[in-house]
């Protein structure tokens, strides 16, 4: 397996780019969110990227993106708003207003037509589910609108930093400032168990395609692999020299990509649990990395305002 540089877009935004997602099936559209308050959609064009559309509406920086197979995209910003819109029509589906700092990370429920959005962040120390079926994003009463982290204490140490669904949509994983990872049952809101091993903020996490393994990226510079069913730490992958800001698994489950504030992207062989390649094509912290839905491309975004696109073979 290998990453090969395909396109580099310098100054893709007017400020740092903190989030990236891929919309649609196959290669689809690449989406980037920036501190400049905008979201942009891109297509590969030669050795660069061609902007297909720019989405505005936020009044503070965009910190997270989530994309669904049906073309819906959610952007979450420091203005405490989550905007859900269509990449096909460019129309806004709904706008969700959250309490201040309660929307640091977001994730769509799995499925071709997701109806719910999980939102993590804030001193409440948990995750909330919102319906995206109507404007305003009604909080769901069933399942539980709030999934509380183990301590149940609204302190800065348990601020949720990351959230993801298992592929079957039955579990939610939430990483916190104190290094713990909590797994919840989506249907009941019940805490299933906690995963220990990190002692610093867990900024990113993702499940393997079969849902059996949970990968976490932490400020300690390590990536952990957990057996999500038996609550055990199965491996630790060192290599980054600073915070691990993003982790993403390939659709076929064979590879893992990570990005870091050490300004690198690393490619890992999941079977061998070893780093196969390190890319140093961006000058500052790399905040996000993701695989295309078809698995053949990888994108990364950085504090240096750039977007990189790689072939993955």
Extents of the domains making up the chain: 3-312
User: Would you say 148 and 120 are in contact if contact means Cβ atoms under 8 Å apart?
Assistant: no
Alpha helices in the chain (DSSP H): none
Per-residue pLDDT tens over the stretch 186-217: 988 888 989 988 999 999 999 999 999 999 99
Question: And the tokens for 296?
Answer: 């053949």
Q: How confident is the model at residue 92 (pLDDT cuts 50, 70, 90)?
A: very high
Does the pTM surpass 0.85? The reply is yes
User: Would you say 20 and 31 are in contact if contact means Cβ atoms under 8 Å apart?
Assistant: yes
- Quick one: how far is CA 305 from the chain centroid? 18
Tell me how far CA of residue 44 lies from CA of 39, 182, 251, 310, in angstroms: 17, 37, 20, 10
C-alpha 126/C-alpha 160 separation (Å) is 6
CATH number of 3-312: 2.130.10.10
Is the alpha carbon torsion for 88, 68, 85, 299 positive or negative? negative
User: How big is the CA angle at 277 (ends 273 and 278), to the nearest 5 degrees?
Assistant: 115
Share of residues in the chain with pLDDT > 70 (%) = 90
The whole-chain average pLDDT of the chain stands at 89
C-alpha 267/C-alpha 3 separation (Å) is 8
Kindly tell me if the per-residue pLDDT of 261 is higher than 90: yes
Per-residue pLDDT tens over the stretch 286-298: 999 999 998 999 9
Question: And the tokens for 309?
Answer: 């696109």
C-alpha 242/C-alpha 203 separation (Å) is 12
């Amino acid at each position: 397996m290998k990453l090969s540089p395909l396109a580099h877009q310098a100054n893709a935004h007017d400020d740092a780019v903190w989030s990236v997602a891929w919309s649609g099936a196959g290669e689809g559209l690449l989406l980037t969110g920036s501190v400049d308050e905008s979201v942009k959609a891109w297509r590969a064009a030669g050795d660069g990227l061609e902007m297909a559309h720019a989405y505005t509406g936020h009044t503070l920086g965009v910190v997270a993106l989530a994309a669904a197979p049906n073309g819906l995209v959610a952007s979450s910003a420091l203005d405490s708003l989550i905007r859900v819109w269509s990449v096909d029509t460019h129309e806004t589906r709904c706008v969700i207003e959250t309490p201040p700092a309660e929307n640091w990370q977001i994730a769509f429920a799995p499925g071709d037509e997701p109806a719910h959005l999980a939102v993590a962040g804030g001193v409440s120390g948990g995750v909330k589910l919102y319906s995206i079926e109507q404007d305003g994003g009604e909080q769901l009463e069933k399942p539980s609108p709030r999934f509380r982290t183990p301590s149940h204490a609204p302190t800065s140490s348990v601020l949720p930093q990351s959230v993801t669904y298992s592929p079957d949509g039955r579990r939610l994983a939430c990483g916190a400032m104190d290094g713990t990872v909590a797994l919840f049952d989506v249907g009941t809101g019940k805490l299933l168990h906690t995963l220990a091993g990190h002692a610093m903020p867990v900024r990113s996490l993702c499940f393997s395609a079969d849902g059996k393994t949970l990968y976490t990226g932490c400020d300690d510079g390590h990536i952990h692999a957990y057996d999500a069913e038996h609550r055990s730490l199965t491996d630790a992958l060192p290599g980054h020299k600073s915070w691990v800001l993003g982790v993403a698994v390939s659709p076929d489950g064979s590879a893992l990509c990570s990005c870091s504030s050490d300004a690198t992207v690393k490619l890992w062989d999941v079977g061998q649990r070893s780093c196969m390649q390190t890319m140093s094509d961006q000058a500052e912290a790399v905040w996000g990395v993701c695989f295309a839905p078809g698995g053949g491309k990888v994108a990364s975004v950085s504090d240096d305002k750039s977007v990189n696109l790689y072939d993955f073979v």
